[in-house]
Each structure stands twice: as structure tokens, then as C-alpha cells.
Amino acid sequence: DPYLFTGTIASNVSMNEEEADRTRIMQALEKVGAGPMLSRLEKGIDEPVVEKGAAFSSGERQLIAFARTLYSDPKILILDEATSHIDTETEEIIQHAMEVVKEGRTTFIIAHRLSTIQNADQILVLDQGRIIEHGKHEELVARGGVYAQMHEIQAKV
């Protein structure tokens, strides 16, 4: 689950930057799909965030964290189980946000939910710390190895 700081949505996105650019904050939130969430909040980006964001759903916290990523614009991004604590309906929104956040940067995604990584340029399958398979989603499914077995199991659920 993403970590949110006590403050406001704006201060979470800007990581408490002294002269935060409110327009950039709004743009980042809109790009990741947080617009509907903001529109229902009385104070918008000035909505208080308390207790690590307990008032927000897991998906909403993830969107705020993704907006933080866009705002800070890192060259390398590591996402660890970005869709693990969300329902399937919210997963679609998060998947879109992930595509936006990944754009223009090197991204490593650690995932057990294979739908999260199907569009990756390269997938590495690890077993006990060793790479046992690698390739694109279609290639790995066609090979019939461990990845294909995991894909088949998850497709049935």
C-alpha cells in the first residue's frame, strides 16, 4: 500500500515542496485519473490527509502516490505490487494510471497479478532469486513454462 503523509493531498503530491506548483499538482492528479475523486472532495487538493490516508480507499491512495511520481518525474521507477490491494474494478483505473506514470522512464514492476505486467517490454520470471524465464507476455505464454501456468491459473479466477 502506498504511504501517504499527514498534510493535504497537495502536500503529498509535492512531497511538501515549499513553493509547490498547484497547477502541476492538479495536472498530475488529472493525468492519473484522480479527477473524479477530487471533484467529490469538499476541499479538493487541499483535503486533509490523516493517519496515512485512512479516509481514502486503497485505489485512491495509489492514485495520489502515482501523481506524486509524475510531479517528481524520476528517471527510474520501481513499483512493488501496485495492484495487489485493489478490487478488479479499481484495477482498470490503476492500470491506466500505471501506463501514464511509466511513460518516458525506466520502470521495474514487481507483480504476482500478471494482468499488471502483460504490456511490459520484458518480463522476468524469478524462482528462488534466479531468472528462469524471460520475454514478452505472448512469448512466455506460448512456451508453456512457469509463467504460462501462472497465467492459466489466474485466467480461471
Which pLDDT does position 84 carry in this prediction? 65
Q: Is the pLDDT of residue 69 over 90?
A: yes
Note down the domain range covering 43: 7-120
The contacts of residue 20 (CB under 8 Å, 6+ apart) are: 10, 11, 13, 14
**pLDDT tens digits for range 30-63:** 999 999 999 999 999 999 999 989 999 888 999 9
Which pLDDT does position 85 carry in this prediction? 65
Distance CA 34, CA 80 (A): 20
82 falls within a domain: yes
Is the C-alpha dihedral spanning 38, 108, 123, 135 positive or negative? Answer: positive
Q: Is the pLDDT of residue 89 over 80?
A: no
135 falls within a domain: no
Which pLDDT does position 82 carry in this prediction? 66
Distance CA 10, CA 14 (A): 6
157 falls within a domain: no
Q: How many domains does the chain have?
A: 1
141 falls within a domain: no
151 falls within a domain: no
53 falls within a domain: yes
Q: Is the pLDDT of residue 83 over 70?
A: no
Which pLDDT does position 98 carry in this prediction? 87
Which pLDDT does position 46 carry in this prediction? 98
52 falls within a domain: yes
Looking at residue 67, which CATH number applies to its domain? 3.40.50.300
92 falls within a domain: yes
